[in-house]
Chain A
Amino acid sequence: MNSSPQKFEDLSATGYVDGGSLTVEQAIANLESADLGLRFYAAWWLGRFRISEPAAVTGLIKALKDEADRTPEGGYPLRRNAARALGKLGDRQAVSPLIACLDCSDFYVREAAAQSLEMLGDAVCIPPLSKLLAAGLHGEQLVSQQPDLSQPYEAILEALGTLRATEVIPLVKPFLEHPIELVQYAAARAMYQLTQQPAYGERLVKALAGERLQLRRAVLADLGAIGYLPAADAIAQTLAENSLKLISLKGLLEHQVNHTTPSTLSEGAMKVINLMDSLL
């Protein structure tokens, strides 16, 4: 691991921007610049600073069909950045164009589209996401050739969980056995969101004791996303950066607050606060 997430967090946090600052007008105009590097950067910048003006959204949607910027392997760097940015801008106009991206030949465009569709939260994307997930299945079993890396299963599973797509539980469940641990965790996270059964939360808690730091970091994010309160102590104790534990616990705290009466703090919320204080 050459760069810790903490490093990214710290750099982005202070608004550190390599290559100078842009104005909104410049960034939108740069999406069509002759310089492909400027286009790529502008798409990232519009997402990073949450520029949700109609012209930015329109420009980014247009960039989802870009043909100019290609990697030697045939990837579409500008489309990837545009898809990522559109998730952050919260404009539902982007939903259909992002669904179209799920058919893109570039894996990373499909992955970015699934992540952004999750953020936009429109249930209309559930059938196309399920279709993509089913590419990894024969009936209700994983396809025989494993590990199957042909689709961004992690992002698809997370999106289906967040979208509360209970109708696809039979498609999600087989991925608990996927040979790649990150995919298993994404499946456990989605199964918890879809069924609220503690067994799936506990599976993630167990993973916090795993050997690899990178996996523990991913599980911290998963537990924060589902707000699984019984994980609080395990989160505080796992061997990982405090920054990530704090973000995870904040997910638990916010889940508590959103699901209890607003006037008083629940016992669970106070427990999480005390753990968070001890990690500052």
Chain B
Amino acid sequence: MNNSDLAQILIRAVQEADSSERLVDAVQELAAAGIEESVPTLIAALGYNNPGAAVAAVDGLITIGEAAVSPLLELIDDYNYGARAWALRALAGIGDIRALDTLLEAAKTDFSLSVRRAATRGLGTLRWHQVPPEKVESVQTEVLEALLLISQDPEWVVRYAAVTSLETLAIAIAVTLPDQASQITNQLQQMLDTDTDLGVRTRVKFAQEKIQQQQHQEVFAPKRKLQETEVEVPHRGGGRR
């Protein structure tokens, strides 16, 4: 049996599931197979109002990865915010940069806090290596500005998600964009001092610890680089001879 036959069997099992439990099982099996053809069925499973099935479908879509990104962006259901939140979770898990505009818009403007939360998390898991080098700086600055805004969201869970993303961004840009990185540390300190939610303040503390650990490592990094260069130069020279 090839992948396509298997996919058809597993897809049929999802379509024919006649109880909530069977649906979860069928979606789990389909997701575990990780076959590209199953993407539309997995996306549809995000909208069944069945959290078990949705969790399994998100996992499956993340495993399939890049091939799921375009269909997810196209099929995001604008009328079902429950499904939209799951789709954004899948995009966040994949981290593909093609989702950037969708994530930015959802994180800033969606009326559903679950959608804003998932999209905000996604802004912190982007794969920066996919961005052309000459654009990285401007895109990272754009994401930073969005996150600074989102970190003032009225919902604690969205601010919490913003803190996780500010943490990863601060670490990603610590060396390349030090001014922007210090904007993040300032914002985190301000949140620690003024945020009304204990859960958010606790997450800020955790982020600060992570960023400090990173800075600590950076102190030793340049030395190591220098040593590597010293070793490499004679080697290259030797090759030219």
- Spell out A's residues near B (CB within 8 Å): 4, 6, 9-10, 13-15, 213, 239-243, 246-247, 250, 253-254, 257-258, 265, 269-270, 273, 276-277, 280
* Those of B42-57 within 8 Å (CB) of chain A: 49, 51-52, 55
Question: Once the chains bind, are B51 and A240 in contact (CB under 8 Å)?
Answer: yes
Question: Once the chains bind, are B206 and A280 in contact (CB under 8 Å)?
Answer: no
Question: Once the chains bind, are A241 and B118 in contact (CB under 8 Å)?
Answer: no
Give Cα A250 to B203, complex, Å: 10
* Those of B183-219 within 8 Å (CB) of chain A: 198-199, 202-203, 205-206, 209
CB-defined A-B contacts under 8 Å, sample of 29: A4-B49, A4-B82, A10-B111, A10-B112, A10-B113, A14-B113, A14-B154, A15-B154, A213-B51, A239-B24, A239-B51, A240-B51, A241-B51, A243-B157, A250-B156, A250-B199, A253-B202, A254-B199, A257-B198, A257-B202, A269-B206, A273-B202, A273-B206, A276-B203, A277-B121, A280-B89, A280-B92, A280-B160, A280-B164
Task: Please give, as numbers and ranges, the residues of chain B lying within 8 Å of A258 by CB-CB distance.
Answer: 198
Question: Once the chains bind, are A246 and B157 in contact (CB under 8 Å)?
Answer: yes
Interface centre among A15, A269, A276 (most CB of B within 10 A): A276
Give Cα A16 to B209, complex, Å: 37
Question: Once the chains bind, are B113 and A13 in contact (CB under 8 Å)?
Answer: yes
Closest A residue to B49 by CB, please name it: A4
Tell whether B161 is near chain A: CB-to-CB under 8 Å: yes
CB of A66, distance to nearest CB on chain B (Å): 32
Question: Once the chains bind, are A10 and B81 in contact (CB under 8 Å)?
Answer: yes
Which residue of the partner chain, among A6, A15, A265, contacts B114 with CB atoms under 8 Å? A6
- Give me 20 other A-B pairs in contact (C-beta within 8 A), A10-B111, A13-B154, A277-B164 excluded: A10-B81, A10-B112, A10-B114, A14-B113, A15-B154, A213-B51, A239-B51, A241-B114, A243-B113, A246-B160, A250-B156, A258-B198, A265-B206, A276-B203, A280-B89, A280-B118, A280-B157, A280-B160, A280-B161, A280-B164
